Amino acid sequence: MKDLTIAARINILFIVAALLLVGLATWYTAYREYHIALDQTLQASAARVLSRPDLQLEIYERDREALERVLGDFFESPAVTLAIARDSLGEVLAERHRAASPSARSPSFKQLRQELSAVDTGLVALDRDGDSAGTGLWSAIAGTDLPLHLSIPVFTSANAGQKGLKAIDFVDALGGPTANGSLRVIGYVQLGIERAALLQAAGPAVRR
């Protein structure tokens, strides 16, 4: 550096500063696009649960075949590779995996819900030891093979503790005057979200 002229040193500083700015801009773009892809997946999944009121009856009747058919719809989101229906206590009623996707180990219901209340939608990530991990971009890069786990409550206005309910009972409860005020959780839809797919969705914007 002693032999460099002042102009050369200034040029080097400008080059280093430019490279740092490019790196920061690339990281910001990746961060933004990753979270856009994640948010779109979360919103689409929650909307799909709300659009399937038949889930209430199928969970109540513990109808595995019917639940498996419904769970298949969640694979319309490219990042979703695992779909599980659980009852309100967390027991698995039905489970489906996306074809040709690696089978991810599902967390226990306690790990899945952690400190959430029964009515909350939750997103959790676990590391290779089963401990809680981050859900952001850096965690996705460090563990692309470790999925995120989304759990969405399924609500009903019917008295699910009563035996012998029929489809019409759920329809009547849904349209009743006190429907919104008497909602209770009848079960959960659990989805495994592949972080590699979220990173792939962010890729085109980063490469521009």
| pLDDT at 3 (0 to 100) | 62
pLDDT digits (tens, 9 = 90+) for 160-207: 989 999 999 998 887 766 555 678 999 999 999 999 999 888 766 555
Q: What percent of the chain lies above the pLDDT cut of 90?
A: 55
pLDDT-derived band at 144 (thresholds 50, 70, 90) equals confident
CA–CA distances in Å: residue 87 to residues 1, 104, 106: 69, 20, 15
Lowest mean pLDDT among 59-68, 96-105, 139-148: 96-105
User: Do 191 and 85 touch, CB atoms closer than 8 A?
Assistant: no
| pLDDT at 18 (0 to 100) | 76
Interstrand relation of 132-133 and 184-193 (parallel, antiparallel or unpaired): unpaired
pLDDT-derived band at 118 (thresholds 50, 70, 90) equals very high
| pLDDT at 23 (0 to 100) | 67
pTM for this entry: 0.83
